[in-house]
Amino acid sequence: AAPRVARSTAEYRVLDAAHHLHPFSDMGTLNRTGSRVITRAEGVYLWDSEGHKIIDGMAGLWCVNVGHARKELAEAAYRQMLELPFYNTFFKTTHPPVIELSALLAEVTPPGFNHFFYCNSGSEGNDTVLRIVYQYWLVKGQPSKKYVISRTNGYHGSTIAGASLGGMGYMHEQMPSKVEHIVHIDQPYWYGNGGDLSPEAFSLNCARQLEAKILELGAENVAAFIGEPFQGAGGVIFPASTYWPEIERICRKYDILLCADEVIGGFGRTGEWFSHEYFGFQPDLLTMAKGLTSGYVPMGAVGLQDHVAAAIIENGEFNHGLTYSGHPVAAAVAVANLRLLREGGIVERVKTDIGPYFQKTLRAALADSPLVGDIAGTGLVAGIQLAQYKGDAQGLGRQRFANGGEVGTICRDFCFENDLVMRATGDRMLLSPPFVITHEEVDELVGKARRAID
């Protein structure tokens, strides 16, 4: 169908350049080349203002899990806007959609998650995690527990606290200082870093860095450890199976809260409802966003294990909140989304059908590519490492081509010009398609990815 556009593409580009600072964008380059104007989306496809049909290999930004343009979600938002769009609804009062949502979340999250705090994004979710962690240890009479340990190359958002928790050096460089008492250990990225060690032994060593850091700081000063069960924005880095059980053991031994950032991994991306279930560990706090509403409207949430919730509740006033905490429209959309994911069998299909098909097809298509090293992932998420030659464990890294671009960025831009959305991090190409993708669409996606890499 023809896209609905009110202005010419050229006009849109002029106005776009005149008025916007785009997130995570080089504005000079973007303004010279002109932004692509995306006007419509349906299922796994996007259309631009010139009528090009683009396959969305990233589900937007890892979030449009039920696919684009679902009537169920649009109708839920419409109905809720007419019923109760907003009031000071959640500060000391409540409302039906958010109650339905929490009852559903208590069912789809693992046992012990019965309390939820709502916000608008993953970044705000991780800010909230910090507040809960500090409050928890105050209530427990251990105010010296202040340090939060995170990992290099982790991504936890772009607010000051989110970026401080994150391990992206380029984000820290823009800040005069990080939030105090946040320290990082190495990420468990074996490929190119593991030397002679097996992935299992390497991951175990990385996990034990946590113990060394706790001993260095003193367990009485360490409040929490936070990590993405698999690192998403960092390149889809999957630790070996030895990693998380060891992290969990160390956190329990030294009485440290274990926080899982499930902003990307939550709501079925790995085929499990939450990616920490895939890795087999039990966090105390759970950050959620993106897939909670399939990105249709902004919403984030933090899940608290019962013992954490009890400590916060017994202390009286919790001095944290956002105007739109538990927003009725976002909550109504999240309920419709979770029902689709569960009753519509969409998460189940990632586990039993489309996830395995995607992994098998992708790996088969890239098996003889001389430019592909590591392929990581499960379910509907994958990271593909670009190498200089087969077996090149160092990869192309952040090596620059003669024209000044990074290898992943060049590949990503080439994909987009050829109507395929992939993301890039250094030398890794990333895929995370909507869960409703069909077998034929997987074939198309993977075929385009192979041609782009070639």
Q: Which residues are near ligand PLP by CB under 6 A?
A: 121-123, 126, 155-157, 162, 228, 232-233, 261, 263-264, 289
Q: Which residues are CB-contacts of 286 (< 8 A; sequence separation ≥ 6)?
A: 109, 113, 259, 260, 262, 266, 274, 276, 302, 303, 304
Start-to-end Cα distance in the chain: 31
With contact defined as beta carbons under 8 Å apart, do 5 and 47 qualify? Answer: no
Q: Least separation, in Å, of the C-beta of 200 and ligand PLP? A: 24
Q: Least separation, in Å, of the C-beta of 361 and ligand PLP? A: 25
Closer Cβ to ligand PLP, 171 or 311, answer by number: 171
Q: 77-88 burial, b for 16+ CB within 10 Å, e for fewer? A: beebeeeeeeee
At 353, the amino acid letter reads D
Q: Least separation, in Å, of the C-beta of 49 and ligand PLP? A: 25
Q: Report the candidate in 116, 136, 127 with the shortest Cα–Cα distance to residue 315.
A: 136
Closer Cβ to ligand PLP, 123 or 385, answer by number: 123
Q: Least separation, in Å, of the C-beta of 62 and ligand PLP? A: 6
Tokens of 179: 């939030």
Q: Report the candidate in 219, 238, 240, 215 with the shortest Cα–Cα distance to residue 228.
A: 238
Helices (H) and strands (E) in the chain, counts: 17, 15
CA–CA separation, 78 vs 51, rounded Å? 28
CA–CA separation, 346 vs 148, rounded Å? 35
Q: Least separation, in Å, of the C-beta of 181 and ligand PLP? A: 19
DSSP per position, 387-407:
-SSTT-TT-STTPBPTTS-BH
Closer Cβ to ligand PLP, 423 or 448, answer by number: 423
Closer Cβ to ligand PLP, 47 or 296, answer by number: 296
Q: Least separation, in Å, of the C-beta of 348 and ligand PLP? A: 24
Residue nearest to ligand PLP (CB): 122
Tokens of 445: 């996606």
Q: Least separation, in Å, of the C-beta of 154 and ligand PLP? A: 8
Closer Cβ to ligand PLP, 299 or 309, answer by number: 299
Q: Least separation, in Å, of the C-beta of 337 and ligand PLP? A: 15
Closer Cβ to ligand PLP, 49 or 123, answer by number: 123
Q: Least separation, in Å, of the C-beta of 116 and ligand PLP? A: 16
Closer Cβ to ligand PLP, 49 or 231, answer by number: 231
Q: Tell me the chain's radius of gyration from C-alpha atoms.
A: 22
Closer Cβ to ligand PLP, 194 or 227, answer by number: 227
Q: How far is CA 261 from CA 163, 235, 256, 289, 436, in A?
A: 13, 15, 16, 9, 24
Closer Cβ to ligand PLP, 264 or 308, answer by number: 264
**Phi, then psi, of 182 in degrees rounded to 5:** -115, 125
Closer Cβ to ligand PLP, 122 or 188, answer by number: 122
DSSP for residue 87: S
- List strand residue ranges (DSSP E) for 199-271, in order: 222-227, 257-261
- List strand residue ranges (DSSP E) for 164-273, in order: 182-185, 222-227, 257-261
Q: Least separation, in Å, of the C-beta of 356 and ligand PLP? A: 24
The dihedral formed by the CA atoms of 80, 84, 88 and 93, expressed in degrees to the nearest 10: -90
